[in-house]
Amino acid sequence: MEESDRYKVLPVEGYTPGIGVVVRMMDLVRSRTLRAVEGLTTEQIDYLHDTESNSIGALLAHMAAVEVVHSIRSFEDRAPTADEWERLKTPLGLGEAARREIRGKLLEYYLDELTAVRERTKAQLRTKDDAWLLEERDYVDGQRANNYYIWFHVPEDETNHRGQISWLRKRLSA
Amino acid sequence: MEESDRYKVLPVEGYTPGIGVVVRMMDLVRSRTLRAVEGLTTEQIDYLHDTESNSIGALLAHMAAVEVVHSIRSFEDRAPTADEWERLKTPLGLGEAARREIRGKLLEYYLDELTAVRERTKAQLRTKDDAWLLEERDYVDGQRANNYYIWFHVPEDETNHRGQISWLRKRLSA
C-alpha cells in the first residue's frame, strides 16, 4: 500500500473484492495497534495499573487468541478442542490468570505471535471468495455467525482493546 | 435486523450493497456502545478517573463530533468552517477543555446527539452508491481519503473509545 493510500479503503490485491476490503480494514487496524505499542519495554508491557487491570502484554496476547479461536470457527467450521481451549483460555479470559501467567516477555514475543496468526489467516482468506463471506458457522450463545461477521469482529475487538492500550500507555510510570 | 442475525454482517436494506455493509458495521458498533453505557447516572458519566482522564460523557460527545466532522468531509467535500470548528473543538480535542465544559448532563443528552447525527448520516448514505465509496476527499495531513475509509474510520474510532468507556465503567466508585 502506497503512503498516498494511507487513508483509503481499497480491496487488497490477491483476494476477491469483498475479502480484499475486509483484509484492508484488518491491516489498517493492525497498523494502529503496532503504533500504539511501538518501543515499549518488558516492564512497560507488564505494567498493571490497578488490581483489576490487564497488562498491555495480556491485551496483545488476547488479540492473537481471539483471532485463533475465530479462525477455527471460520476456516474449520468447528469449536476449539479441549486442548485448544486449554492453551487459549488465559489470553482469551484475561483477568487474574493472565496477570499471573502473561509477563516477562519482550514486545517482539507478542508481535511475532500476532504476525504468525495473521499470516495464517491471510493464507486461508486467499483461498476463499466473496460468497464464502455469507456462509454461516456455529458461534457463541447457540447463535450462528457468518464469516463476514467473524472477520469484522476480529479487528473490532482489537480496536476496542487498542483503546485500552493507548489509555494505559499514557499512564506508564516508567 | 432479526435476533438470529445478531452475528451476521449482511447489507442493510435501503442502501447499495457496499454501503449497506458499512451501515451494518456502524450499527453493530453502535449497539455495543449503547450497551456499554446503559443505565449510567450523570455522576457516573462525569467520573474522572485521574487528572488526565476523559469522562464517559466526553468520550460520547467525541464520538458524535467525529461523525459530524467526517460527514462534512464526506458529504460536503470541504473542511469545517471556523464556526463549526469552534463548536466541535472541545469534544474533538478532549482533555482539559472537555473536562471543564462537558459535564452535568443526563445520559440521554449524549445518546440523543449520537442518534441525531447518525440519522443525518444514514439519510445521506441512502442517496449514495457503491462507486461513491471510492471517491476521494481532502483529509488530514494534506492527504486524501476515500469515502470508504471515512466510514470505516468513524466506527473504528468509536470502538477505540468504547474500549476506554468499558474500562472506566468497571472502575466507577458510585
Interface residue of B70, B130, B132, B149 to substitute, partner A, most A CBs within 10 Å: B149
DSSP A76-124: H-SPPPHHHHHHHHHHHH-HHHHHHHS-S--HHHHHHHHHHHHHHHHHH
Average pLDDT over residues A155-166: 98
Q: Is 70 exceeded by the pLDDT of residue A174? A: no
* B38 burial level (CB within 10 Å; 0-12, 13-18, 19+): exposed
* B115 burial level (CB within 10 Å; 0-12, 13-18, 19+): middle
Comparing CB atoms, the residue among A7, A140, A171 nearest residue B149 is: A7
C-alpha cell at A30: 493492525
- Nearest CA of chain B to the CA of A159: how many Å? 5
Q: Write down the pLDDT at residue A3.
A: 78
What are the tens digits of pLDDT across the range B5-61? 899 999 999 999 999 999 999 999 999 999 999 999 999 999 999 999 999 999 999
| Neighboring chain B residues of A156 at a CB cutoff of 8 Å | 28-29, 159
What are the tens digits of pLDDT across the range B99-123? 999 999 999 999 999 999 999 999 9
The answer to whether the CB of B90 falls within 8 A of the CB of B102 is: yes
| Neighboring chain A residues of B130 at a CB cutoff of 8 Å | none
- Nearest CA of chain B to the CA of A81: how many Å? 22
Q: Write down the pLDDT at residue A173.
A: 72
Beta partners for A144?
A138
What are the tens digits of pLDDT across the range A98-151? 999 999 999 999 999 999 999 999 999 999 999 999 999 999 989 999 999 999
Comparing CB atoms, the residue among B4, B133, B164 nearest residue A164 is: B164
Q: Write down the pLDDT at residue B174.
A: 46
Comparing CB atoms, the residue among A6, A25, A166 nearest residue B152 is: A25
C-alpha cell at A159: 480496536
Q: Is A140 on the interface with B (CB under 8 A)?
A: yes
Non-local (6+) Cβ contacts of A117 within 8 A are: A64, A67, A68, A71
* CB–CB contact B140 A7 (8 Å): yes
Q: Is 70 exceeded by the pLDDT of residue A153? A: yes
Q: Is A35 on the interface with B (CB under 8 A)?
A: no
The answer to whether the CB of A144 falls within 8 A of the CB of A32 is: no
Q: Is A136 on the interface with B (CB under 8 A)?
A: yes
Beta partners for B143?
none
CA distance A149 to A133: 8
What are the tens digits of pLDDT across the range B127-173? 999 999 999 999 998 999 999 999 999 999 999 999 999 999 999 97
| Neighboring chain A residues of B25 at a CB cutoff of 8 Å | 152
Q: Is B152 on the interface with A (CB under 8 A)?
A: yes
CA distance A53 to A172: 13
Residue A51 DSSP class: T
- pLDDT grade for B80, boundaries at 50, 70 and 90: very high
